[in-house]
Chain A
Amino acid sequence: MTRTAPPGQRPDASMTLLNTMLQRPLDPGYAAAADRREAQGRPRSTSLRSPLLAIATVLIGLLVGIASYNLTTANKPRSQARADLITQIEDRRAEVDSLAAKATTLQGQVTTLEGDRLGTDAVTVRNHDLSVAVGTVPLQGPGFTLTLDDAPGAGADDTAEGGQAQQGQVIAKDLQYVTNALWRAGAEAVSINGNRLTSTSAIRFAGSALIVDFRPLTRPYVITALGDQKGFPAAFADGAGGTYLSTLRSSFGIRVDTEVSDKLTVPAAVGLTTRYARSGDTGAATATPGATGTPSPTPTPERSTP
């Protein structure tokens, strides 16, 4: 069954908007003005030499010129702000580096002075042993370095977006696993790119950057591990760490270099602070003082911003 359009109505009447746009795109004002002039006996078209037209064209040109200057990306305030932020970041990072170096020097002086002042009694010896374990003193000794780098052609430029690591990139989990395996194999001190790892260190991902103790790392990642046990490197290579590294190498193409050396240095940790345990719930502790003979509630470590 076909429906014919009523007489006098176009079959495509429902598409008038499209038709007017496509068939009569010219301002109807032009035709109307031309008809009016013709009725008055003047030519259909006016001269192109009118001052009004000249002013209008200069205005249009000005608009286009201003827009093309202001809309190019180089002049946007956003890119200016971005450049400012980048300089700020670089300045602050340099500041952090110089302050960290200063802190390390001062810490070394403190340690030397302490060693001079304190004798060789048991407490001092214990203090020394503990500072080695905690990481407040630089250490030197035998060990090996692991150099991890992204697979060739992976993530050399910032192609990874949204914090998603590409296949061939070293991620925080790799470093975490490797350092844990190092501790398990008997390492006494570990540092990544000159950042000494302590019991409070964190290896994390921020965006596409690896961060150790809130300091961003740059490729390649050099892990220095000290350990004077016999066969410490072999213990690592035979253990879970070695297996993990060989998987990284064979499956993802991550470059891993191991170098055993007799004389390696690991710097002291920067920014170590003492944290005091504090009673978490004093109200409950005073309510039943010694009723069950238990000591004060389990101290919870204070969460402080590092």
Chain B
Amino acid sequence: MIPAIGLSLGIIIGLLLQPAVPVWLQPYLPIAVIAALDAVFGGVRAILDGIFDDKVFVVSFLSNVVVAAFIVFLGDKLGVGSQLSTGVVVVLGVRIFSNVAAIRRHLFDA
């Protein structure tokens, strides 16, 4: 319950304050969101599996965001542009998909 409240509180604050993100930071936003989603779905699945650990959740979220941002930065510096970020999106997307599938199996037994 508390995590859900925290999540919606954060979204509401973000939408209400409407902070302007500097332009140099904007390419990192989409990847960071996908990394955060991956951590969230992983956490939900862990809760349903009965093996949730708050420390693992926080560390996985932070490291996901940092690594994703680093890969975008690296791709930018190497001149391969968004191709490295595509790799991140594919890997995280597959993970999100399978985690959601596991959550679905837990919730609906199907």
Contacts and interface: CB of A to CB of B under 8 A. Distances in A.
Interface of A: 21-23, 25-27, 29-31, 33-34, 37, 44-50, 52-71, 77
Contact of A69 (B2, B18, B94, B99): B18
Contact of B11 (A31, A33, A64, A77): A64
Contact of B51 (A21, A44, A48): A44
23 contacts: A21-B98, A25-B94, A26-B49, A27-B56, A30-B42, A30-B51, A37-B53, A46-B53, A52-B55, A53-B58, A57-B7, A58-B7, A61-B6, A61-B7, A61-B11, A61-B14, A63-B32, A65-B13, A66-B14, A67-B33, A68-B11, A70-B20, A71-B29
A69 B15 contact: yes
Nearest to B21: A70
Interface of chain B, main secondary structure:
helix
Contacts of A22: 94, 98
A45 B44 CA distance: 12
A60 B49 CA distance: 22
A57 B42 contact: no
B74 interface: no
A53 B47 CA distance: 13
Classify chain B: how many residues form its interface, as a range: 35 or more
B10 interface: yes
Interface of B: 1-4, 6-15, 18-21, 23, 26, 29-30, 32-33, 36, 39-40, 42, 45-47, 49-61, 65, 91, 94-95, 98-99, 102
B53 A30 contact: yes
A205 to B, nearest CB: 33
Contacts of A71: 26, 29-30
Please indicate which of the listed interface residues B50, B52, B59 has the most CB atoms of chain A within 10 Å of its own CB: B52
A31 B52 CA distance: 8
A64 B54 contact: no
Contacts of A34: 50-51, 53
B50 A44 contact: yes
Given A53-B3, A60-B61, A65 B10 contact: yes
B11 A50 contact: no
A33 B56 contact: yes
